[in-house]
Amino acid sequence: MKPTLALSAESVRQLRSHYENDTALIAAAVEALKKTLAVRGAALNSPATVREYLQLVLAPLNREVFMCLYLDAQNRVIATEEAFQGTLTQTSVYPREIVKAALRHNAGAVIFAHNHPSGLAEPSHADETLTQALKAALALVDIRVLDHFIVAGLGVISFAERGLI
């Protein structure tokens, strides 16, 4: 049987309601999710689950972080990595390093995510350009880009849902 994420959507909603006053609870939830995702084959069984996981991990950070979720050919999690860290308003992402990591993990697909500590989840032109560059670079080695999420506080947007992938 495939491992699945340990938190239900209801659990995540309850955690969100305590977000500002109980960071220890959030940290415990994130650690539980990370342990589950560390097991090869963990199922991210819905876009909502991915969104909620990324929100728990990225929303509390006070600087930009770019994450990659590496998936196998059946879209099961191989690994999650914090690929790059930046400042309050930007981070540098190097497509060559993303391609190397995806190949190292033998990934068939990737989901990207980063946060906007400013609180505005709208993608910038630079975010869109970077996503297209990463998609093109990974396509050369037959790795699909499934989505790119931007997390800003309680807001999360999906490039796939907006037709930007």
Q: What is the pLDDT along the chain (165 residues), one digit of tens a residue?
A: 444 444 555 665 665 665 555 667 667 776 766 666 555 555 666 777 888 889 888 998 999 999 999 999 888 889 999 999 888 777 889 999 999 999 999 999 999 999 999 888 899 999 999 999 999 999 999 999 999 999 998 899 999 999 988
Structure-block tokens of residue 28: 């415990």
Q: Is 58 a member of any domain?
A: yes
Q: At 18, which CATH number?
A: 3.40.140.10
B/e letters for 51-78, b = 16+ CB within 10 Å, e = fewer, are bbbbbbbbbbeeebbbbbbbbeeeebbb
Beta strands 144-152 and 109-115, pairing class: parallel
Q: Is 165 a member of any domain?
A: no
Nearest to 50 by CA among 156, 134, 130: 156
If one counts the domains in the chain, the total is 1
Q: Is 136 a member of any domain?
A: yes
Q: Is 17 a member of any domain?
A: yes
Q: Is 3 a member of any domain?
A: no
Q: Give the model's pLDDT for residue 120.
A: 86
pTM score of the predicted model: 0.77
Contact 84, 96 (CB under 8 A): no
Q: Is 124 a member of any domain?
A: yes
Q: Helices 9-17 and 23-37 meet at what angle, rounded to 10?
A: 150
Q: Is 1 a member of any domain?
A: no
> The domain containing residue 68 runs over which residues?
9-158
Three-class SS of residue 94?
coil
Q: Is 144 a member of any domain?
A: yes
Question: Is residue 147 exposed (0-12), middle (13-18) or buried (19+ Cβ within 10 Å)?
Answer: buried
